[in-house]
Each structure stands twice: as structure tokens, then as C-alpha cells.
Structure 1
Amino acid sequence: MIKSMTGYGMGEFSNEHFKFKVEIKAVNHRYSDISVKLPRHINYLEEIIKKNIKGRISRGKVDVYINLEYINESAVDVKIDTPLAKSYKEALSNLLIELNMDENIRLNNILSIPDVVRTERKELDQDMVWEVLSKALNLALDNIMIMKETEGKALRMDMLNKIDNIEGFVQKIEDRAPVVVLDYKAKLKERIKNLLEDNVPIDEDRLSNEVAFFADKSSIDEEIVRLYSHIKQFRSILDEDDSVGRKVDFLIQEFNREINTIGSKANDIVISKYVVDLKSELEKIREQIQNIE
């Protein structure tokens, strides 16, 4: 199934301790490039997150944003440095005496001093963290895959329409090819007749040899056969379940090679026009391929 490289998916999951929100954004890219942004104290999960994403998304630039919200206050320890607080209180009291000031020292004066109150995050149960995060991650992946597959269906239909157009132009070139040789023979015969005197006969054997040489030199039968084969392969690849982006990208290069050969060998203005039409349709397909996984 064709999948677009662009998409967005979001997933949330929580337990009694914390809640994870995962957002995944993907855009087209030649290779697989995954970037994960998550809280620093769970950085150890980055590689397993990437591994899970690679199992679902084979190509494209993927940005993953992970937010962790603590639900249970017991996940954080609050610690007060009592000796430090006493030292500050004593120092402030002495300062008031030295300055001969009649003021009271309040608790908030002490608590606002750096390092008197510290918050420390309790050590997390790594298995529990991954259990919750993986569920949020899979929900986000499910959602982004829905979007990628929906857009992929539209891309597939568009490319099939364009490959139908290409097949039509190839058929026109195939029909035109024999006429090119007949036109060449008629024009050559007329040219020779104009050059010779009226009473000098045309050497039909030499004329036939010259026409045969031209027909062999300008033959595009092999290129047409290969183009039909490429068209059949293209349609078959679009029906595959695996990632097809690189396959069709390579096949388009083969299309282009055969079309260029036809353009250089045909030596006919009508076929040259069809070659231009073929290249135009091929370029449209190439642009679409840049968006499929």
C-alpha cells in the first residue's frame, strides 16, 4: 500500500502516576531521519522509541515530541536543609542587631533563600514509564499512519492516471514509427528524382538498401517494448504492501532513459512532440514520488 511521507499523529495515555502526550510530525525526506525530543531524565528511552517508529515508518523526516506530566505528587520529594535555614536565621538576627533594626524575620524570608528548599524527582520505575509511554506512542503512530495511508491512496490514483497517459503516448509513438520509414523513403525518392535527369532511372536496389539502413538506425522497437514493460512494473509496484518509494524512483529513471533514446533515434517531428508529452507526464510522476514512503 502506498503511504505518503507527510502526516501528523497524536496520542495520550496515563496511569495513576503520570501522563504522556506524544506528537509525531513527518515530512518527505530521501532517507529515514528521526528526531526525538523528550524530558532529559528519560533520555534512556530515545533509542527504543526510534526503533518502534522505524518499525512503522521506513522513510521521511520524523519529529517526535514527548511531554510527561506527573499526576501523583508522591513522584516528587521536597527536602528542606534545616541546618542551612538555622544558619541563615542566626546570621540575619545578628545583622539586625548590628544595624540596630527592629524587624521580625519571617519564614518566607528563609524559604526564599537558594538551596534551603529543594525538590528532587523520585527514581522512576523504568518498566512502568515505558509501559505508559509505549501506549501513547502507538496511538500517535496509529493516527499518523491513517493520515499517511489516506494521502497515499490519493497519490496512487493520481500516478495511475498519469501512467495511463504515458501508455497512450507510447501507443501513438508505436503507431507512428512505421510511417516514419515510409515517409523517409518517399522523400528520399523524390529528392533523388529531382537530382537526376528525367531519362536516368532510379536504382531501386540502392534505394531499398538506404531505406533499410535508415529503418535499422532509427528503429525504436526495443525501447517501446521496454516502456510497456516498465508501465506494467509500475502498476504492479503500486499494489505492493511494502514501501515502494525507492522502487518507483528507480523505475522512473529507466523510463526516462528509454524516452530519451526514442527522442534521439526517431528523427520525426511528430514523435518528438510525443516525447515532450511523455517527459511532461514523467516529471509530474517524479514530483509525486518525492512524497511517497
Structure 2
Amino acid sequence: MVTSMTGFGRGMAEQENFRITVEMKSVNHRFLECFIRMPRQLSQIEDKIKKKIGHYIKRGKVDVFVTISGEGLISKSLKVDWQLIDSYYDFAKEAKKRYHINQDITLDHLLANSEILTVEETEGNNDELQDLIHDALEQAAVKLHYMRKNEGLELEKDLIYHLQSFKHILSQSNQVSPTIVTKYRERLEKRIKDFADGQIDESRILTEVAVFAEKADVTEELTRLDSHLAQFELALKKDEPIGRRLDFLTQEMNREVNTIGSKGNDANLVSYVVEMKSIIEKIREQVQNIE
């Protein structure tokens, strides 16, 4: 079964105090790589998030965005340094007496020092946050997986269409291949007759034809192409990641076709090679998207 490596999923979970939103998007990649962006205080659960993603995705580059909104995430409290205030107050009274200052000591004088009052921030219930993130992550991962599966169905249809076209051209190539040596012998005999006044050295012709037949024989390459096609179609039915296998088979198909092009001394076969290479390129483009 074909699964695409591109997709998007979004999940949301909320309680009275805050809301969690998780967005996931994936694109092509040789391996599974996860990049997670979320508030710093939740960095300790990053490995758990990656493991959860790994249950649904085996290959691809995945970007995960965790957004937290609401008033329950951080609580603020005022901290007063009363000992420091007492020290400042005692100092102000002593200075007033020593320097004969008539001005009254007010609260504004004491609060002018920023060290007296500080605001402390306390994180909310981390366990509660993690449960909400887990729920939102699960939703996003399921939607992403579903989208990748649906896109994979379209990729599979396109690949099957290209494979059928390739099979048709390969069948024609198999029909042409046995005639190449015969045509070469006919051309060779005609050429010898034209330049040797109709005299034909049969042993020479047999030798030339044998040498040509060995160089131009593409039977093995055509047979291997048949095998690669069968393996390709079999892989499409497997319920597991098949992208790398299909990529390897595509490379092997291209290599066999290149060999046929270099060996097959026939205009029809060369035209078939051009068509097969064009189809292989289309297959390669689609295979790059498969998990």
C-alpha cells in the first residue's frame, strides 16, 4: 500500500484555563526527522512526542508546532523584601535627622528601589498540560496519517498507469529484439554483394553476424526489466514503507534501459528506449514522494 510523505494535520485540546493546539506537516526526506517548536518549559516531553509521531510515520521530515494559550499556563505573584524595606526606612530616618531634612518619608520613596518588589512566575500544572498535548498530538497525527494515505492512493494510481505503459513498450521491444540480428545479416549481405560483384563469403558473414549478435543481444536486459516490473508491482501491495525499495528498482530499470540503448543497433528499439526512459523519469518523480 502506497503512503505519501507529504501531508498536514491539526489537533486541539482545551480545559478551563488554557488551550493546546498542535499542527504537523510533513515533506519528503530520506529518513524520519522531527522538528518540534513549543514553549521551553515543555522541552522535557520532546522525546515522547517524537515516539508518538514514530507510531504513525516511518519516513519524512515532520515539523510540529505546539501552541499554548490561556491564563492557566503561568501564575504571577508579588514578592516583598520586608527586611530590605526596613533597612531603607531606617536609613531614610537617620538621613533625615542627620541632614535636617524636613520632608516626610512616603511610600513612594521606599518603592523607588526596584529590588524591594519583584514579580515571580510559577508554571501551571505540568501533568495536566502534558495530557492535553498528548490528546491534541494524537488528533494531529491521525489526520496527517489519513492525508498521507489518501495522497498515496493517488500516487499508486499514477504509478500503475505508468507501469502499464512501460509494459506495453517493453512487449514491443521483446518483439523487435529477435529481428535485429536478422536485419543486420540482410544489410551485411547486400553490402557485400554491392562491393564484391555478388560474391558472398558465407564464413565471413557468419563470423560478422556472430560478433554483432553477441554485442547487440539485449535479451538479458529485457528479462531483468520484466523482473523489476514484477517486483515493483508486488511492492505496491505491501503494507509497509516501500519508498526506498521502489527508488532502488527505478534506478535498476533505468540502468537496464541505458544498456539496451547502447547495445541495440536498431531504430525501432532506440525509439522504444527513449519512451521507456521518459516513463521511468515520471515514475522516479512519484517514487520520491512515497514513504
TM-score (structure 1 length as normaliser): 0.86
Q: Count matched residues.
A: 288
Contact 1:85 1:116 in 2 (8 A): no
Structure 1 residue 279 displacement after superposition: 0.8
Give the letter for the 1:282 counterpart. I
Structure 1 residue 117 displacement after superposition: 3.9
Alpha-carbon distance between aligned partners in 2 of 1:186 and 1:4, rounded to the nearest angstrom: 52
- Percent identity among equivalent residues? 35
Q: Which runs of 5+ in 2 are unaligned?
A: none
1:244 is the counterpart of 2:245: no
Contact 1:22 1:67 in 2 (8 A): yes
SS of equivalent residue, structure 1 residue 190? helix
**Does the C-alpha gap of structure 1 residues 140 and 219 become closer, same or farther in structure 2, counting only changes over 3 Å?**
same
Matched ranges for 1:1-293 at <5 A: 1-16=1-16, 18-70=18-70, 72=72, 76-83=75-82, 86=85, 90=89, 110=111, 113=114, 116-122=117-123, 124-126=125-127, 128-198=128-198, 200=199, 202-293=200-291
Alpha-carbon distance between aligned partners in 1 of 2:246 and 2:71, rounded to the nearest angstrom: 49
Alpha-carbon distance between aligned partners in 2 of 1:191 and 1:84, rounded to the nearest angstrom: 115
The Cα offsets for residues 153-192 of structure 1, whole Å up to 9 and x where unpaired, read as 1111111111111111111111111221121111000011
Structure 1 residue 255 displacement after superposition: 0.3
The Cα offsets for residues 104-155 of structure 1, whole Å up to 9 and x where unpaired, read as 7569x949957724132246344x4332221111100001111111111111
**Does the C-alpha gap of structure 1 residues 80 and 223 become closer, same or farther in structure 2, counting only changes over 3 Å?**
same
Structure 1 residue 84 displacement after superposition: 7.3
**Does the C-alpha gap of structure 1 residues 125 and 282 become closer, same or farther in structure 2, counting only changes over 3 Å?**
same
Contact 1:20 1:68 in 2 (8 A): yes
Give the letter for the 1:279 counterpart. K
Give the letter for the 2:263 counterpart. K
Structure 1 residue 46 displacement after superposition: 0.7
Alpha-carbon distance between aligned partners in 2 of 1:10 and 1:234, rounded to the nearest angstrom: 34
SS of equivalent residue, structure 2 residue 132? helix
**Does the C-alpha gap of structure 1 residues 87 and 267 become closer, same or farther in structure 2, counting only changes over 3 Å?**
farther
